[in-house]
Structure 1
């Protein structure tokens, strides 16, 4: 739509006919990220091509390789035994800068 806002139209579709469809994506998905059980921030997925595994890509690029990760609903859990404090700080900066 020239000069229009496609995101507004997508959001409006969720409210058509007087009801709200909770399955309709309004703006973006997000995951709560935890390291060793401690909440460190939220990962917002800003495009349909992005997914929560970009957190792993970030960690790998920063030199963190010894960790396990898994998804449970909208929670993303990372377990590590090495450099926990540094990893948490790096993730907090990454998650809050986006």
Structure 2
């Protein structure tokens, strides 16, 4: 803590928050990153670069690829895509690997 002896002479403290990135307006400071899984298989890392981007980009992509019988679950920094169909799982894994590598 440094003392500020300028002004009225009361020595008001000046606090520094070094290394803190904080905004009250809710704006995103850094990229959010998620580990992506299909059922229990790790596919890769998905980073949200844009301010308005969210995890629904994965479901949007999978729907565009023709996958509709699946659900998405977000647990902390993990995105888990669930599917009952083993055939769909294999095809989703291939599609998601390409999606994650191209980002």
Normalising to structure 2: TM-score of the pair? Answer: 0.71
What pairs up with 1:1-98 in 2 under 5 angstroms? 17=16, 19-21=18-20, 26-82=29-85, 83-98=88-103
Total equivalences in the alignment: 82
Query: Computing the radius of gyration over CA atoms, which structure comes out larger, 1 or 2?
Result: 2
Normalising to structure 1: TM-score of the pair? Answer: 0.75
Q: Which runs of 5+ in 2 are unaligned?
A: 1-15
Point out the structure with the larger helix share.
Answer: 1
Q: CA RMSD, aligned part only? A: 1.8
Q: Which runs of 5+ in 1 are unaligned?
A: 1-16
Moved beyond 4 Å, runs of 4+: 22-26
